[in-house]
């Protein structure tokens, strides 16, 4: 062809081997997700958890936190499984199964709401920092750094301590701990894209910065954010339990909350280990489910993880 | 003569970083493009081609970059324009086709979204009209079954198809000037010719002017009206395509042309590369930057400020046509 061809890089291959030619990126990710066994396990666990939480009033045999059968609980013994109470009673005389089912509900609500709030606030901060850059970036990231320098549980405890006990302060406390995670994730992702060819190409078309960031760069960051949100939900479920274990949850000790159930179970660990076993298992399995799902999502959304 | 559509004058781009000596990538480039004209900007890697195009479009990062000189588009200086004002002209009056179609499209959005985006930014068309326009554009750049392609993602297309889409996007608002930065370099050789044909046909049809940036003299030979040869950040020769290939004046240009492998050369005859590399250069202020690689240079080449001017030979050949300029003390083909 010509003299200068010798200096030019060789032409790059034009087609990449995908085998998923007919699919969009989300459809392809969905297909990879379905082929991942641990992803399926995670999805099933998460699905069950959500189902139980939503349908708790229908599934549970009794009302929660009634203390209806308090008379049957003695200082030395808590009634175990019986025909009326499949898992027995708790130490306040409520049906243990009912408490567990409703516990899922409060974990889900607090976990989802706090993650949603943490994600929303973190996303706004991250977009401001990564999208605008300059002094906005510096300011936002210093605030985030300060938030991040406080251990998340300690941060949550202090928020709860300031706001007083109750579900709302737990939610706020957990989301406060999540804000820096999402802010940094989004900022990093936006910064990484800033110099990319397609962004320069969009600028060459005269698109406004805001439009480029929100309409083009943000969709490119959704994958990692989705993964992180799933993983953070696992942490949130544990943190809900931890905070209510530390006594920062609802003031009523008999309320159906897994962490709270663990606390009260401590006193009777020798006579009635099942009181600690079931809520503990519920917390562990749920957190595991979210983690498995999150990891599977990460693999599914990252094209490089193709095996 | 009426002023040209694009007039670049004494454009200089300097990159500086704290603690490091600054680099001048573009060192006083001047050229002009008339309406509907296709002008080539040729040179090897590192001679400042791409930086020139980015500077014209105002796409260089503001930090650590100093741009001086003037870029007049239709009479107004783009370099002194407010960023917002410049943005509203980009995509509408001037557009760009980039080198690498694999990375210049957003991987997670459908082609339809990306095509309609520029229409959304610069026209009053409603959603349906934008979609119809996008379909029409895809048809014009020769993409089969455009209706289906609108809903597809970039990775589902080959490189050539993607470059066609990028061309469609650049042409969407019927700009008056297109800057094509190595539009075919990343493509397979077989596709290169097709895409180049398409691009030139489309700009000729619509009367759009084009700056074609390339390292490939073959590309220039087939498409450009005028050619500017860049070396070390400066234009060293400017001529009509015919003159450039028939009578190269600057020693760099003649070296490049001599280096083109020829089918009709005797078998076994060696290729004639231009010796050395761009890094063996003189500062323009100290003389001709090409001197260290030039076989013909002498001490006369060691004075700064060699002008880009018609050579004595060309003035003698056609006195009324001072269109062929070279920045050379000892131009090739001179009678003396």
Strands (E), chain B: 6-17, 20-33, 38-42, 65-73, 76-77, 94-97, 177-181, 209-214, 226-231, 234-240, 309-310, 325-326
- Asked if A6's CB is within 8 angstroms of B121's CB, the reply is no
What's the mean pLDDT in A162-166?
79
Give the closest-approach CA distance of A265 to chain B in angstroms.
50
Distance of CA B239 to the CA centre of its chain: 15
Nearest CA in chain B to A193: B106
Residue B313 is assigned to a structural domain of this protein: yes
Residues 6+ apart with CB under 8 A from B57: A204, B90, B94, B96, B179
Judge if B165 and B35 occupy the same domain.
Answer: yes
Assign 3-class secondary structure to B162-225: HHHHHHHHHHCCCCCEEEEECCCCCCCHHHHHHHHHHHHHHHHHHCCEEEEEECCHHHHHHHCC
Supply the pLDDT for residue A17: 42
Supply the pLDDT for residue B315: 80
Q: Of A14, A208, A220, which has the smallest distance from its Cβ to B108's Cβ?
A: A220
Q: Specify the number of domains making up chain B.
A: 2
The separation between the first and the last C-alpha atoms of chain B, rounded to the nearest angstrom, is: 33
Q: Which residue has the tokens 């619509």?
A: B206
**% of residues, chain B, pLDDT over 90:** 28
What gap in Å lies between CA A240 and CA B229, rounded to an integer?
68
Judge if B46 and B58 occupy the same domain.
Answer: yes
State the pLDDT confidence band at A149, using cuts at 50, 70 and 90.
confident
Q: Which of B218, B211, B217, B224 has the alpha carbon at shortest distance from B252?
A: B217
Q: Does A38 score more than 90 pLDDT?
A: no
Q: Which domains does chain A have, with CATH numbers?
A: 27-53+94-305 (1.10.3720.10)
Give A47-92 pLDDT, tens digit per residue.
Answer: 999 998 888 888 878 787 777 777 777 777 777 777 777 787 777 7
Judge if B150 and B200 occupy the same domain.
Answer: yes
Judge if B131 and B202 occupy the same domain.
Answer: yes
**% of residues, chain B, pLDDT over 70:** 98
What gap in Å lies between CA B77 and CA B67, rounded to an integer?
13
Give B258-285 pLDDT, tens digit per residue.
Answer: 888 888 888 888 888 888 887 778 888 8
What are the residues facing A99 on neighbouring strands? none
Judge if B275 and B127 occupy the same domain.
Answer: no
**Other CB atoms closer than 10 Å to residue A267's CB: what's the count?**
11
**% of residues, chain A, pLDDT over 70:** 89
Judge if B134 and B281 occupy the same domain.
Answer: no
The first and second tokens of residue A78, run together, are: 């808590």
Q: Does A10 score more than 60 pLDDT?
A: no
What gap in Å lies between CA B113 and CA B103, rounded to an integer?
16
Task: Collect all residues from A whose CB is shorter than 8 A from any CB in B.
Answer: 1-9, 11-12, 14-16, 18, 21-22, 24-25, 196-198, 200-208, 211, 215-216, 219-220, 222
What's the mean pLDDT in B229-239?
91
Strand, helix or coil at B82? coil
The first and second tokens of residue B273, run together, are: 């590369």
Chain A / chain B CB contacts < 8 angstroms: 130
Q: Of A11, A206, A222, which has the smallest distance from its Cβ to B92's Cβ?
A: A206
What's the mean pLDDT in B251-256?
88
- Asked if A22's CB is within 8 angstroms of B87's CB, the reply is no
What's the mean pLDDT in A14-26?
53
Dihedrals phi, psi of B100, to nearest 5 degrees: -110, 100
- Asked if A205's CB is within 8 angstroms of B117's CB, the reply is yes
Q: Does B38 score more than 70 pLDDT?
A: yes
**% of residues, chain A, pLDDT over 90:** 13
Last residue of a domain, one of B208, B230, B252: B230
Give the closest-approach CA distance of B88 to chain A in angstroms.
5
Judge if B197 and B118 occupy the same domain.
Answer: yes
Give B154-206 pLDDT, tens digit per residue.
Answer: 888 888 899 999 999 999 999 999 999 988 888 888 888 888 889 999 988 88
Dihedrals phi, psi of B21, to nearest 5 degrees: -65, 145
Give the closest-approach CA distance of A22 to chain B in angstroms.
7
Q: Does B39 score more than 90 pLDDT?
A: yes
- Asked if A1's CB is within 8 angstroms of B91's CB, the reply is no
Chain B residues close to A17, C-beta within 8 Å: none
Instruction: Work out the mean pLDDT of chain A and round it to a whole number.
Output: 81
Strands B226-231 and B38-42: parallel
CA dihedral A291, A292, A294, A296 (to 10 degrees): 160
pTM of the model: 0.78
Give B40-65 pLDDT, tens digit per residue.
Answer: 999 888 788 889 999 999 888 888 88
Strand, helix or coil at A70? helix
Q: Of B100, B107, B117, which has the smallest distance from its Cβ to A25's Cβ?
A: B107
Distance of CA A103 to the CA centre of its chain: 17
Q: Which of B199, B241, B200, B229 has the alpha carbon at shortest distance from B49?
A: B229
Nearest CA in chain A to B272: A3
Judge if B212 and B178 occupy the same domain.
Answer: yes
Q: Of B57, B153, B185, which has the smallest distance from its Cβ to A25's Cβ?
A: B153
State the pLDDT confidence band at A117, using cuts at 50, 70 and 90.
very high
What gap in Å lies between CA A80 and CA A76, rounded to an integer?
13
Residue B266 is assigned to a structural domain of this protein: no
CATH of residue B55: 3.40.50.300
Strand, helix or coil at A147? helix
Q: Does A23 score more than 80 pLDDT?
A: no
What are the residues facing B17 on neighbouring strands? B20
- Asked if B160's CB is within 8 angstroms of A205's CB, the reply is no
Residue B336 is assigned to a structural domain of this protein: no
Chain B residues close to A216, C-beta within 8 Å: 106, 109
Judge if B19 and B57 occupy the same domain.
Answer: yes
Give the residue numbers spanning the domain of B211: 6-230
What are the residues facing B42 on neighbouring strands? B214, B229
What's the mean pLDDT in A105-111?
86
Residue B221 is assigned to a structural domain of this protein: yes
What are the residues facing B68 on neighbouring strands? B12
Judge if B225 and B243 occupy the same domain.
Answer: no
- Asked if A204's CB is within 8 angstroms of B117's CB, the reply is no
Supply the pLDDT for residue A130: 86
Residues 6+ apart with CB under 8 A from A96: A85, A87, A88, A89, A90, A274, A275, A278
Residue B302 is assigned to a structural domain of this protein: yes
Supply the pLDDT for residue B321: 67
Nearest CA in chain A to B108: A220
Mutate to test the interface with A, among B104, B148, B179 (most CBs of A within 10 A): B104
Q: Which of A175, A162, A156 has the alpha carbon at shortest distance from A245?
A: A156
Supply the pLDDT for residue A288: 92
Of B188-192, B229-233, B305-309, where does the model show the most confidence?
Answer: B229-233
Judge if B14 and B149 occupy the same domain.
Answer: yes
Residue B169 is assigned to a structural domain of this protein: yes
What's the mean pLDDT in B298-319?
82
Give B114-162 pLDDT, tens digit per residue.
Answer: 999 999 988 888 999 999 999 999 998 988 888 998 988 888 888 889 9
**Other CB atoms closer than 10 Å to residue A285's CB: what's the count?**
14
Give A244-268 pLDDT, tens digit per residue.
Answer: 888 777 667 667 788 888 888 887 7
Supply the pLDDT for residue A8: 40
Q: Of A6, A206, A216, which has the smallest distance from its Cβ to B87's Cβ?
A: A206
Residue B1 is assigned to a structural domain of this protein: no
Supply the pLDDT for residue A22: 58
Q: Which of B48, B51, B46 has the alpha carbon at shortest distance from B277?
A: B46
What is the torsional sign of CA A283, A284, A285, A288? positive
Q: Of B89, B92, B256, which has the smallest distance from its Cβ to A4's Cβ?
A: B256
- Asked if B188's CB is within 8 angstroms of A206's CB, the reply is no
- Asked if B189's CB is within 8 angstroms of A205's CB, the reply is no
Are B260 and A2 spatial neighbours (Cβ–Cβ below 8 Å)?
Answer: yes
- Asked if B100's CB is within 8 angstroms of A11's CB, the reply is no
Chain A residues close to B191, C-beta within 8 Å: 14
- Angle between helix axes A134-149 and A167-194 (nearest 10 degrees) is 140
Chain B residues close to A211, C-beta within 8 Å: 117, 121
Q: Of B90, B108, B109, which has the smallest distance from its Cβ to A205's Cβ?
A: B90
Give the closest-approach CA distance of B334 to chain A in angstroms.
23
- Asked if B106's CB is within 8 angstroms of A202's CB, the reply is yes
Per-residue burial over A89-105, b if 16 or more Cβ lie within 10 Å, else e, is bbbbbbbbbbbbbbbbb
Judge if B49 and B168 occupy the same domain.
Answer: yes
Strands (E), A109-250: none
Q: Which of A286, A183, A296 has the alpha carbon at shortest distance from A239?
A: A286
Lowest-pLDDT range, A132-141, B119-128, B235-244, B258-267? B258-267
What gap in Å lies between CA A81 and CA A62, rounded to an integer?
15
Assign 3-class secondary structure to A13-38: CCCCCCCCCCCCHHHHHHHHHHCCHH
Chain B residues close to A218, C-beta within 8 Å: none
Last residue of a domain, one of B230, B253, B284: B230
Nearest CA in chain B to A195: B61
What gap in Å lies between CA A287 and CA A107, rounded to an integer?
11
Strand, helix or coil at A262? helix
Bigger pLDDT: B198 vs A18: B198
Q: Does A7 score more than 70 pLDDT?
A: no
Supply the pLDDT for residue B41: 93
Q: Does A16 score more than 70 pLDDT?
A: no
Are B196 and B183 spatial neighbours (Cβ–Cβ below 8 Å)?
Answer: yes
Dihedrals phi, psi of B37, to nearest 5 degrees: -90, 150
Q: Which residue has the tokens 């405890």?
A: A157
Residue B36 is assigned to a structural domain of this protein: yes
Residues 6+ apart with CB under 8 A from B215: A4, A5, A7, A8, B42, B43, B44, B45, B49, B182, B185
What are the residues facing B237 on neighbouring strands? B229, B326
């Amino acid at each position: 062809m010509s003299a200068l061809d010798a200096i030019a890089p060789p032409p790059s291959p034009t087609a990449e081997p995908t085998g998923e030619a007919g699919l969009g990126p989300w459809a392809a990710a969905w297909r990879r997700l379905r082929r991942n066994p641990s992803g399926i396990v995670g999805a099933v666990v998460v699905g069950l958890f959500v189902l139980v939480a939503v349908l708790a009033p229908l599934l549970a045999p009794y009302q929660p936190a009634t203390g209806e059968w308090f008379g049957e609980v003695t200082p030395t013994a808590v009634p175990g499984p019986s025909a009326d109470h499949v898992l027995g009673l708790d130490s306040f005389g409520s049906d243990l199964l009912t408490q567990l089912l409703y516990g899922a509900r409060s974990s889900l609500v607090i976990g989802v709401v706090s993650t949603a709030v943490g994600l929303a606030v973190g996303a706004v901060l991250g977009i401001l920092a990564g999208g605008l850059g300059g002094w906005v970036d510096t300011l936002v990231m210093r605030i985030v750094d300060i938030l991040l320098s406080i251990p998340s549980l300690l941060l949550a405890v202090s928020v709860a301590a300031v706001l007083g006990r109750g579900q709302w302060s737990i939610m706020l406390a957990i989301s406060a701990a999540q804000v820096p995670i999402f802010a940094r994730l989004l900022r990093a992702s936006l910064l990484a894209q800033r110099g990319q060819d397609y962004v320069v190409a969009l600028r060459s078309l005269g698109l406004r910065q805001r439009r480029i960031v929100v309409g083009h760069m943000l969709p490119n960051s959704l994958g990692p954010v989705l993964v992180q949100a799933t993983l953070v939900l696992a942490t949130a479920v544990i943190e809900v339990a931890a905070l209510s274990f530390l006594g920062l949850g609802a003031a009523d000790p008999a309320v159906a909350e897994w962490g709270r159930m663990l606390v009260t179970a401590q006193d009777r660990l020798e006579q009635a280990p099942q009181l600690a076993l079931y809520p503990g298992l519920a917390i562990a399995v749920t957190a595991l489910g979210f983690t498995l799902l999150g990891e599977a999502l990460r693999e599914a959304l990252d094209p490089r993880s193709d095996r | 003569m009426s002023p040209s559509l694009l007039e670049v004058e004494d454009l200089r781009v300097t990159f500086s970083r704290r603690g490091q000596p600054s680099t001048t990538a573009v060192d006083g480039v001047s050229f002009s493009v008339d309406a509907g004209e296709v002008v080539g900007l040729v040179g090897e890697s590192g001679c400042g081609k791409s930086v020139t195009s980015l500077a014209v479009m105002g796409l260089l990062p503001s930090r650590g970059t100093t741009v001086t000189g003037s870029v007049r588009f239709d009479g107004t200086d783009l370099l002194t324009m407010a960023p917002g004002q410049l943005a509203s002209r980009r995509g509408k009056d001037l557009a760009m086709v980039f080198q690498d179609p694999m990375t210049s499209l957003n991987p997670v959005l459908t082609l339809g979204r990306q095509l309609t985006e520029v229409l959304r930014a610069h026209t009053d068309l409603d959603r349906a009209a934008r979609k119809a326009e996008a379909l029409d554009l895809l048809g014009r750049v020769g993409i089969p079954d455009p209706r289906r392609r609108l809903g597809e993602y970039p990775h589902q297309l080959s490189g050539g198809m993607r470059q066609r889409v990028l061309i469609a996007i650049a042409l969407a608002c019927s700009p008056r000037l297109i800057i094509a930065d190595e539009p075919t370099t990343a493509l397979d050789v077989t596709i290169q010719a097709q895409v180049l044909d398409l691009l030139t046909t489309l700009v000729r049809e619509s009367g759009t002017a084009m700056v074609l940036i390339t390292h490939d003299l073959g590309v220039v030979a087939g498409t450009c009206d005028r050619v500017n040869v860049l070396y070390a950040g400066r234009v060293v020769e400017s001529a009509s395509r015919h003159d450039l290939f028939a009578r190269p004046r600057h020693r760099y240009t003649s070296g490049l042309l001599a280096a083109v492998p020829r089918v009709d050369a005797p078998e076994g005859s060696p290729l004639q590369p231009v010796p050395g590399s761009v890094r063996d250069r003189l500062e323009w202020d100290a003389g001709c930057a090409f001197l260290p690689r030039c076989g013909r240079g002498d001490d006369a080449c060691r004075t700064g400020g060699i002008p880009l001017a018609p050579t004595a030979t060309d003035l003698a050949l056609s006195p009324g046509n001072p269109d062929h300029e070279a920045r050379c003390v000892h131009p090739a083909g001179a009678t003396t």
